[in-house]
């Protein structure tokens, strides 16, 4: 079952020097329970794609569907996690996670806190329920932000480069942690990233976008066995997959698009 479908989607913005084309004739799909990454160079329109899916922006042309139904304005069937954790400093971890269920999920404050308490163990946060964001490491803050996203109650997660600001060791640790909980929960995930290794490690499929105006340069299946671990990165197949993705990215750059 296709959980997300985009057919020939284009998007542009008005600028001082005329229209700025960001997405052009872009088509892709995500199956129920699938982990799909969108890989592309900086500024190619990856975040604009998420803005279309969240309803912040409307496509100029093309069709967007969620579960086979048109993605209408104001309808938000997906949970979105932005690049920065944007945790409220005056709220505890529990309060921040509960906010997702209260605001986006439409639950009462009491029900939202109960939902958040149920989620904290899944994200390794039960001992930090009463902590403030400033008391957490960068990795723990990202866990709390992801827990808040899941608390919204949607089965599709849109993750916008959630680990991009972390150091390499913390990033790898969180990538492996996300792989573990995804194996258990089987959410449908769309991950926006510019990290080729992250895309290979986590994904079932990867779409490579070219430079602006972005369209799909490559759709690549990732046939690595799951669960994936640190040892997976030593598999020779990983290097071959990374090279194929890098080549697709370089093709767009070489063409000057």
pLDDT in tens, 40-64: 888 888 889 988 988 888 899 999 9
Choose between 15 and 33: higher pLDDT. Answer: 33
Residue 15 pLDDT > 70: yes
Q: Which residue has the tokens 């913005």?
A: 13
Residue 132 pLDDT > 80: yes
Q: For the chain, which residues make up each domain, given as ranges? A: 1-78+188-257
CATH superfamily of 1-78+188-257: P-loop containing nucleotide triphosphate hydrolases (3.40.50.300)
Q: Can you give the pTM of this predicted structure?
A: 0.89
Residue 239 pLDDT > 80: yes
pLDDT per position as a tens digit, 159-195: 999 888 788 888 899 999 999 999 988 999 999 998 9
Residue 256 pLDDT > 50: no
Residue 97 pLDDT > 90: yes
DSSP-assigned letters across all residues of 89-150: TTS-HHHHHHHIIIIIS---HHHHHHHHHHHGGGGT-GGGTT--GGGS-HHHHHHHHHHHHH
Give pLDDT, residue 205. Answer: 97
Contact 200, 242 (CB under 8 A): yes
Residue 237 pLDDT > 90: yes
Give pLDDT, residue 73. Answer: 60
Choose between 84 and 98: higher pLDDT. Answer: 98
What percentage of the chain has pLDDT greater than the value 70? 95
Distances, alpha carbon 181 to alpha carbons 163, 174, 227, in Å: 16, 11, 10
Residue 104 pLDDT > 80: no
């Amino acid at each position: 079952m296709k959980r997300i479908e985009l057919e020939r989607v284009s998007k542009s913005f008005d600028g001082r020097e005329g229209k700025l084309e960001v997405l052009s004739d872009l088509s892709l799909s995500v199956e129920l329970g699938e982990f799909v990454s969108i890989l592309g160079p900086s500024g190619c329109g990856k975040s604009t794609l998420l803005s279309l899916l969240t309803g912040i922006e409307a496509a100029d042309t093309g069709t967007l569907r969620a579960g086979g139904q048109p993605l209408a304005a104001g309808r938000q069937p997906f949970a979105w996690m932005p690049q920065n954790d944007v945790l409220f400093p005056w709220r505890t971890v529990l309060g921040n996670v509960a906010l997702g269920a209260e605001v986006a999920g439409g639950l009462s404050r009491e029900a939202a806190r109960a939902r958040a308490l149920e989620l904290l163990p899944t994200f390794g946060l039960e001992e930090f329920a009463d902590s403030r964001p400033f008391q957490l490491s960068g990795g723990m803050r990202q866990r709390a932000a992801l827990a808040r996203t899941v608390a919204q109650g949607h089965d599709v997660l849109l993750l916008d480069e959630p680990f991009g600001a972390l150091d390499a060791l913390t990033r790898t640790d969180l990538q492996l942690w996300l792989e573990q909980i995804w194996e258990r929960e089987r959410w449908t995930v769309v991950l926006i990233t510019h990290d080729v290794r992250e895309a290979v490690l986590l994904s079932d499929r990867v779409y490579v976008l070219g430079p602006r105006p972005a369209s799909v340069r490559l759709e690549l299946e990732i046939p690595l066995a799951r669960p994936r671990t640190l040892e997976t990165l030593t598999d020779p197949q990983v290097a071959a997959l990374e090279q194929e993705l890098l080549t697709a990215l370089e093709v767009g750059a070489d063409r000057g698009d």
